[in-house]
Structure 1
């Protein structure tokens, strides 16, 4: 999505705001205003970061950001590495890999938490997924578990070779869909000495069953659509996409799940970024719908911390994964009182609560 398209969408949303008349729509607009107060202006930020309190320059005695590029197999990956204040590239610092949400990019909530973790003294890395954001790969917006999991392994490959990093003290932190993929990566990649998730989203379960298992009756129909989309691609046809939509305030307010209502607010307005999009190739569903983040959860033996909002309508996903993590001897499922799924991405008091839990968790396990 280019800047012109993004601005057109913003204008459409603002127009919708002006005509929204229902109480729910007014609530959406109020949340937009509140969230916008804690967002950064992408155009004014040299690193195009859109989260509140984002770095604007690498200043002495503070956390620094380093845009990097590397190959993951034959795909160009773009990432940001954050280093703590007074970082010594000749030293041995613990590091944390941060995996972004579905449709997200490194400049949004994943970057916020990477910066906050660097402020605690860790080297952190957050990369745009292959085929998404600023990273390479064609066709665009392929979203398969194998790619997302390999992206996490690839971040580990890169950051463990980064000057000043202690490869034996590597942690993993995944947000939303990145949380589900982080669980999958940690099952077999024992370079990760501990794993934490925030508002974990089980992409396979939701793409298969629908959110809150609301689409069980249409599984076979949607599998047929995905199969037809792949056949269409392989015969040289247009790439077909799912998950993308332009919505007015009133349409957003009518969505049945809070996560989606607030998600549109976050990704399309308050923290919008040209690289971020909800869409994915319809053929990706062939892989997504047969995958589940909770399969073989017993393979995770590392310390595990799962964090989610007490009011999140996605909480059932974290709960299901946590219950099945029978191999982890040191594990905790922590609820943030009063928080919804999307609010854990940006609301300052909830972000502080998350960082307050992550600090002692990584402190004792890295």
Structure 2
């Protein structure tokens, strides 16, 4: 593995990424390559890198797991910004970097994303035609999710009003505000009772998946754009590349189960497959053998056929 940073001419900050290489890697050869995108509130060291990138590299792929702009080790301010337009643009920036590498086969680049990274990946391929195939692992339509979650604030309009007020306060000199996506303790998570919330706490807040750059917190003042975004907009027209959608059959509040069925139905791809893994939850698909392990048994032949 090699840690890299790069900057596009249109950027004022660096993107940080880890490149994973196949065994017996030879820089004089060219390889099929996969871009691996981390979940919402996460970082490249969690699931996109240590699970999916690592295994795909073992199977002969060059894989790049990157930190989204404003998150992880990548640059940009404000920190912990979750702006869907920027997140999707990052995919293009990563491909721009990949095509400068002599060992990357420009005609065999695919993309895989986990959770929100899956939703972003599905959206990115609609307008980034250098991607030849896409895999969504328990993909979440982030715009749909934040609109539903805003009900506790009075709905999306009220949430946007709150973001606007916070932004004005910060312009006037107030400190920035971060929104914690997870409950403060395992006991509170259990009281909430949703499987995705319970397992999110277990993943992000215990040694299982905890990482310094993946705190699952979000900037409040700049979050309004997500409320007006839809990962699946125009999928019926623009999502034409081969697509593999992997979900578990244990639905939770984050909505990956129904998002998986929706994008499978709507995608214009002639070559598309929906895999529903029995007895598997959203977070099983991050790092557990019955989840991520089973998903990879589908992902490897899919990329083998299409890259």
TM-score normalised by length of structure 2: 0.93
Bigger Rg, structure 1 or 2: 1
Q: Deviations over 1:292-317 (max 9, x none)?
A: 11111120110011001111322011
Shift of 1:230: 1.7
Alignment correspondent of 1:310: 249
Alignment correspondent of 1:124: 63
Alignment correspondent of 2:85: 146
Q: Of 314, 317, 324, which residue of structure 1 is paired with 2:266?
A: 324
Q: Of 286, 293, 297, which residue of structure 2 is paired with 1:352?
A: 293
CA distance in 2, matches of 1:334, 1:105: 25
Alignment correspondent of 1:71: 7
Q: Show structure 2 runs of 5+ residues with no match.
A: none
Shift of 1:249: 2.3
Q: 1:15-54 residue pairs with structure 2 within 5 A?
A: none
* Conservation of the 8 A alpha-carbon contact between 1:306 and 1:318: yes
Q: Of 138, 156, 166, which residue of structure 2 is paired with 1:219?
A: 156
1:137 aligns with 2:73: no
* Conservation of the 8 A alpha-carbon contact between 2:280 and 2:291: yes
Shift of 1:183: 1.1
Shift of 1:243: 2.8
Alignment correspondent of 1:333: 274
Alignment correspondent of 1:176: 115
Does the residue aligned with 1:308 lie in a helix, a strand or coil? Answer: strand
Q: Of 268, 278, 301, which residue of structure 1 is paired with 2:216?
A: 278
Alignment correspondent of 2:30: 92
Alignment correspondent of 1:198: 137
* Conservation of the 8 A alpha-carbon contact between 2:176 and 2:219: yes
Does the residue aligned with 1:283 lie in a helix, a strand or coil? Answer: coil
Q: Show structure 1 runs of 5+ residues with no match.
A: 1-64
Following TM superposition, where does structure 1 have runs of at least 4 consecutive aligned residues deviating by more than 6 angstroms? none
Shift of 1:171: 0.4
Shift of 1:245: 5.3
Alignment correspondent of 2:180: 243
TM-score normalised by length of structure 1: 0.79
Q: How many residues align?
A: 299
Superposition CA RMSD, Å: 1.6
CA distance in 2, matches of 1:329, 1:244: 37
* Conservation of the 8 A alpha-carbon contact between 2:37 and 2:118: yes
